[in-house]
Structure 1
């Protein structure tokens, strides 16, 4: 992603975005819980990591389905900024999204990811808890919570969160942390 040529362009765009969403009320997020549950059952039965990755990507399509066009545009901008390592810009977009759509779990999950990248793990956990309140089957948020808790040195809580995430998707890339000898292996399975 290219950086804006003018230093104030991101501030102007965010101010315009904020004023547009202030004029509207965010509708409820789409309910994809049954579809996600079906995908969880599929990923649990997957034969290999490649098949599981395809199924996991389908979950992301549901989680990243914002409540309306405005929310989708904010989410997309925030994700683009995060991908370009404009973490301050991404954080600003996700703040706007969470303020506009406080019942949309992915806004909190994405803001938590930015805070994780900023190594603000405590703030990430707060947002991940909210994302999981809104979407208890959000495997990525649960996995992110495990990683954030691990970074904070809260190993028992991290182990629990990762264990719950792996129950839903045993193919998560983070599964190595819970393997025997891993830092989040279940107690009593040390090498």
Structure 2
């Protein structure tokens, strides 16, 4: 969550029909507005407490992962022995991060630089914003915006066509699987008749 102290706002402009990143355009499915803030000081970022746990994990050189014994691979001890003897070599696949999180990709984060923990919510809720150097007023000129509503409609249509194609592909796969299962069922029934 981003917490912006109201007194730190220098300006707030509402921009109609802004040029938005593709991901935002696909998420909104309609024309967006942009709220452009200029601040005297940086906002406070409030994250779930799991963030500190992730930071701690990123610094760990020893860790335990628990699995159910019944789910363990049969040759787990062989794998353990090979790892302990240094037989494993790293590969440079960069962890295939582009295919993670449903295909939208991930990002490597380096927590190696030690930073102070963020202030608690109570501290940020009561304390005034820290003093900051004065900033220059932003130019009153606005960048040229693409105000073509047809462009928004085309983006929406492309997203809908893409979604329809995905559904059609899934239906075809399910129909193929259904036919295979029907055939297997028929063969099993015929096999039972022979018994």
Whether TM-score is above 0.5 comes out as no
TM range (shorter): under 0.3
Q: TM-score by structure 2 length?
A: 0.18
Q: Provide the TM-score with structure 1 as the length reference.
A: 0.19
Identify, as 1 or 2, the structure richer in helix.
Answer: 1
Give the structure with the larger strand fraction.
Answer: 2
